[in-house]
A and B are shown apart, each in its own frame.
Chain A
Amino acid sequence: MKYTVSLNGQEFNLRVTGFLEIQTDSGARQTIDLVPLDANRYSAIIGTKSYVFELFTENGEKFLVYKNHTLPLLIEDEHDRLVSHMKQVNKDHPTGADVKSPMPGLISRILVSEGEIVKKGQAVLVLEAMKMENEVKSPLAGQVSRIAVSEKQNVEKNDFLLRIG
């Protein structure tokens, strides 16, 4: 089966040709020694080099952790590739974004109102968590089209806070 693997922004076209065997674009075949450990971690020996890495997903996105570095990971087969290509066409022209809560906490202040034009990186509200006041910033420039929370409201991680655009 043919895959496109994107890791840390680098893309690799790989074909799975047998159990733990892959073929690269150049036609070279490689067998790796891969053993699952605990908690989604793996031990891999490639050639004679030894690696331990962890895989996890968050909000539907995959990540690989190597020596505490968290790297974005995307693995697509030919079918996935076609679907994501079509999605990308729309994604190239972002018109808005949902701002979600980065952590559980209390909305201590809302700094913008509906209809207000905000700059990218502008603080839109203040979230209090672990006794610290944290500013939540707008991911892009645009108009605040909807505010879904109010001051003194408790929110969970990833709760929808407001929409820009």
Chain B
Amino acid sequence: MIRKIKKILVANRGEIAVRIIRTCKELGIETVAVFSETDRTALHVRMADEAVALGGIKSAESYLSSEKLLAAAKRTNADAIHPGYGFLSENATFAEKVQNAGLVFIGPDPESIRLMGDKTTARKLLSGSRVPLAPGTTDSVSDVNEAKKIAAGIGFPVLVKASAGGGGKGMRIVHDPADFEQAMTASQNEAQNAFGDSRVYIEKYLEGPRHIEFQILADSHGEVVHLFERECSIQRRHQKVVEEAPSSVLTPALREEMGLAATEVARSCKYKGAGTVEFLLDRHNRFYFLEMNTRLQVEHPVTELITGLDLVREQIRIAEGEPLGFSQSDLKPYGHAIECRVYAEDPMNQFLPDTGKVHLHRIPSGPGIRVDSGIVDGMEVSVHFDPMISKLITWDVNRERAIARMRRALEEYSVSGVQTTLPFCQFVMNHPAFISGKFDTHFISDFFRPDLLMLSDSALISSLATGALNAVHWYERESDALKVQSRSTPEFSSAGVWKIRRK
């Protein structure tokens, strides 16, 4: 049965809300944005046809409130809700409430979310299948002594992971049994804060693995295809910073084998919609199921660029009950795509989140460039939400050219007001290990040191020193004190001072 969607409420914020609204506009579907108190002027609110205030500042009072979201949908007569990623996107109870309210939840059925959302349930479900699992527990553990025994049995190093987890939140690596207790407590606390569920489980930690995931599309008529892989091995704090498609290590045979396993995972939970099956690939090209994310991924654009598909459009079509209209043999990847995530974080200082006002955000453009961003000049990056500012994606016919294009785009990108991961991404694009494709999830600990972000070209530094001195001497001098304007007070811009002096 096909049920055409006319109006979608986007239960999210930031770049992903903007991303979803864009496709809706192209499809002629009306859009409803929702916003917390601090997001009144955000881009997604400006772009949507309608906008409803949720109130509240913290996510628990706004984007995580299913009651407020459903009330907003009712008030605006929306017939579907798109959850984006994060927030309530993998919350089965929310999906159920949406369906019970007579609305379409753009995503899988609550039962699929429940099966895959709980990592231990997923491991149990797949333990009898042909999908390979990493050694570990299929149940969560709460007693620290018992957990310690299990860890010793598996053999250190081990991972303590949140059962309800994802995105690296609530995950800890433990190399030394002496650190186990503290790691488990930290993991439980983080899991409780992030997911409202403190359960954790233990899994064998693989040395030097690569993170390879497969994009899945499944319709409500039983067709399941994969849209090839994404390589997401460049991570900090177990969270991805650089992703690409295709991976430089998969042979066609391995791609087919992993793709088949991925579709099997999707079938096992009667999946419907767009989802991602994550694997770890070890040094001997053995792969292990990590988890399935039952939602759109942050890094979905790289898949869109090599397949020519709009994944949000496919999600909506599937939710309407339409058949995919293509099968695995119709799909061929073309070219190479890379994504760099621009986070408000300081790579010079352990990637700690930075907050403040982004008073300048100049994005690159030109051939093969895509920027998905939810930020506008003057917007605050606050402590209440994820510090991602945007995603920069480049495409070209092969990997070498996609990297060259990304280098060019990163140089064009300018953010002022907060520290960002941009210089780190530049470091990655110029690093021999990344260029050769010989790297794993330890890329940062293996190759990165903050001092490598400094410039070494002394002729260039000499020229910049000359420029800086003249800028300060002629345009920014106030009385006798040499003052460079503070980044946090852009209203006293140097250009303003200059104009006054010219009179």
- Cross-chain contact B190 with A36 (CB below 8 angstroms): no
Question: Are B423 and A8 in contact, CB atoms less than 8 angstroms apart?
Answer: no
Interface size class on chain A is 35 or more
Minimal beta-carbon separation of A145 from chain B (angstroms): 24
Q: Is the CB of A69 within 8 A of B423?
A: yes
Contact with A along B412-456 (1 / 0, CB 8 A): 011110011011001000000000000000000000000001110
Interface string of A1-29 (1 = CB under 8 A from B): 10101011110101010011010000000
Q: Chain B residues near A49 (CB, 8 Å)?
A: 463
A59-115 interface with B by 8 A CB criterion: 62, 64-71, 73, 75, 77, 80, 102-105, 108
Indicate whether B101 reaches chain A with its CB closer than 8 angstroms: no
Q: How far is the CA of A49 from the CA of B466 in the complex (A)?
A: 13
Contact among A8, A37, A40, A103 with B354 in the assembled complex (CB-CB below 8 Å): A103
A140 within 8 A of B: no
Q: Is A42 an interface residue (CB 8 A)?
A: yes
- Does A54 sit at the interface, judged by CB under 8 A? yes
A42 touches B473 (CB 8 A): no
Q: Which residue from B383, B466, B470 sits with its C-beta under 8 Å from A130?
A: B383
Min distance, Cβ B113 to any Cβ of chain A, angstroms: 21
Is A149 engaged at the interface, CB distance under 8 Å to the other chain? no
**Shortest Cβ distance from A66 into B: residue:** B464
CA distance A68 to B426 in the complex (A): 9
Q: Which residues of A contact B414 (CB under 8 A)?
A: 41, 54, 68
Decide yes or no whether B482 CB sits under 8 A from chain A: yes
Interface string of B225-259 (1 = CB under 8 A from A): 00000000000010000000000000000000000
Number of CB contacts from chain A to chain B under 8 A: 185
Pick from A44, A57, A80: contact of B487, CB under 8 Å: A57
B465 touches A55 (CB 8 A): no
Asked if A132 and B493 make an inter-chain contact with CB atoms under 8 angstroms apart, the answer reads no
Is A117 in contact with chain B by the CB < 8 A criterion? Answer: no
* Choice from B419, B455, B461, B487 contacting A40 with Cβ under 8 Å: B487
Residues in chain A near residue B497, CB distance under 8 A: 36
Q: Does B468 belong to the interface (CB within 8 Å)?
A: yes
A5 and B353 contacting across the interface, CB-CB below 8 Å: no
Residues B332-348 near A (CB distance < 8 A): 346, 348
The smallest beta-carbon distance between A32 and chain B, in angstroms, is 6
**Is B484 in contact with A16, judged by CB distance below 8 angstroms?**
no
Is A122 engaged at the interface, CB distance under 8 Å to the other chain? no
Q: A130-B386, A133-B186 are in contact. Are A14 and B466 (CB under 8 A)?
A: yes
- Please report which residues of chain B, range 341-383, place their CB below 8 angstroms from some CB of chain A when the two chains form the complex: 346, 348-350, 352-355, 359-360, 383
Q: Is the beta-carbon distance between A105 and B468 smaller than 8 angstroms?
A: no
B465 touches A7 (CB 8 A): yes
Whether, in the assembled complex, B490 has its beta carbon less than 8 Å from a beta carbon of chain A, the answer is yes
Q: How far is the CA of A32 from the CA of B467 in the complex (A)?
A: 8
B387 within 8 A of A: yes
Whether B469 pairs with A77 at a CB distance below 8 angstroms is no
A56 and B467 contact, CB distance less than 8 A: no
- A55-B359 in contact (CB<8A): no
> Which one, B360, B410, B466, contacts A30 given CB within 8 A?
B466
Q: Which residues of A contact B426 (CB under 8 A)?
A: 67-69
Q: A14-B465, A102-B349, A134-B352 are in contact. Are A56 and B485 (CB under 8 A)?
A: yes
Contact of B360 among A1, A38, A55 (CB under 8 A): A38
Known contacts A57-B485, A132-B169; A69 and B453 CB within 8 A of each other: yes
* Docked-complex contact B190 and A8, CB < 8 angstroms: no
Q: Cα distance A66–B462 when bound, in Å? A: 13
B472 beta carbon closer than 8 Å to chain A: yes
Q: Which residues of B contact A80 (CB under 8 A)?
A: 482
The reply to whether the CB of B268 lies closer than 8 angstroms to some CB of chain A is no
Find the residue from A10, A39, A51 having the highest chain B CB count within 10 A.
Answer: A39
Q: Is the CB of B485 within 8 A of A71?
A: no
In angstroms, Cα B484 to Cα A5, docked, is 14
Please determine whether B484 and A131 come into contact, CB atoms closer than 8 angstroms.
Answer: no
Q: Are the CB atoms of B423 and A105 closer together than 8 Å?
A: no
- Do A55 and B493 contact each other (CB < 8 Å), given the known contacts A40-B416, A41-B360, A70-B348? no
Cross-chain contact of B474 among A19, A70, A129 (Cβ < 8 A)? A19
Further 20 A-B residue pairs, CB within 8 A, beyond A38-B495, A44-B471: A1-B473, A5-B469, A8-B454, A8-B461, A34-B470, A38-B360, A40-B484, A40-B485, A40-B493, A41-B360, A42-B471, A42-B475, A55-B472, A69-B423, A73-B468, A77-B482, A102-B346, A102-B349, A105-B383, A126-B186
Listed from nearest, the 4 A-B pairs whose CB atoms lie closest are A56-B487, A44-B467, A39-B360, A68-B422
12 examples of A-B residue contacts, CB within 8 angstroms:
A12-B466, A30-B466, A32-B466, A34-B470, A42-B471, A53-B464, A53-B468, A54-B414, A55-B472, A71-B454, A131-B193, A132-B237
